[in-house]
Chain A
Amino acid sequence: EPEVTQTPSHQVTQMGQEVILRCVPISNHLYFYWYRQILGQKVEFLVSFYNNEISEKSEIFDDQFSVERPDGSNFTLKIRSTKLEDSAMYFCASSEALPGGFDNSPLHFGNGTRLTVT
């Protein structure tokens, strides 16, 4: 079964540094997402991306964050000037169509990248 793949599985960085988290969504999917989960808390939406642009973003997704689809397969999340509170598990997800749309289109999540900011 096709799956969403994320690299690296664990990233350690120093406060103030920039990190790029990488994702390869399922190949025929059109909608891409980033979510994060701070340790012990619930999963939170960050951003959705469709047709090479951001379609929705949460209050968390401020100017520190950016997303990009640099080629036909990769989807990246860049965090500039990382802070201690950015430490979390970051999940990439993709769906064939809008999850709440008329098609049966669930989200498929990658295994996550655990980001630790020291």
Chain B
Amino acid sequence: GIQVEQSPPDLILQEGANSTLRCNFSDSVNNLQWFHQNPWGQLINLFYIPSGTKQNGRLSATTVATERYSLLYSSSSQTTDSGVYFCAVEKSYNTDKLIFGTGTRLQVFP
């Protein structure tokens, strides 16, 4: 099956710093989403981005589908950004399921 790997596995930042998280996937995909899992366990949808670039406030994401990777950029990090960031992909039109990556655990300190 498709493999979804994220890097780095852990990231520690000071408030105000910028970061780039990476998601590599082993096969072509029709859907890619980025999620933030906050310390309470809630999964929050950040981006639906099967290709191209999107921006939302301090966050932006780019997916290069032909090269099978996606990047999540964050600027001016805040302590509330802490948690685990997952990318998730859907392989084809014939399947409903999202396959989640391994996650990046982000800790932002004041």
Contacts and interface: CB of A to CB of B under 8 A. Distances in A.
Nearest to A44: B100
B99 A98 contact: no
Contact of B42 (A45, A105, A111): A111
A56 B41 contact: no
Interface size class of B (residues with CB under 8 A): 20 to 34
A111 B45 contact: no
A112 B43 contact: yes
Contact of A111 (B41, B99, B102): B41
Given A42-B86, A42-B100, A43-B100, A112 B93 contact: no
B82 interface: no
B96 A31 contact: yes
Interface string A86-104: 0001010000001111001
Interface residues of A, number: 28
Interface string B53-80: 0000000000000000000000000000
B41 A43 contact: no
A66 interface: no
B96 A109 contact: no
Given A42-B86, A107-B33, A99 B41 contact: no
Interface of A: 31, 33, 35, 37, 42-45, 48, 50, 55-56, 58, 89, 91, 98-101, 104-109, 111-112, 114
30 contacts: A31-B96, A42-B101, A42-B103, A43-B100, A44-B100, A45-B97, A45-B98, A45-B99, A56-B95, A56-B96, A56-B97, A89-B41, A91-B43, A98-B96, A99-B90, A100-B29, A100-B91, A100-B92, A100-B93, A100-B95, A101-B93, A107-B33, A107-B45, A107-B98, A108-B45, A109-B43, A109-B45, A111-B41, A111-B42, A112-B42
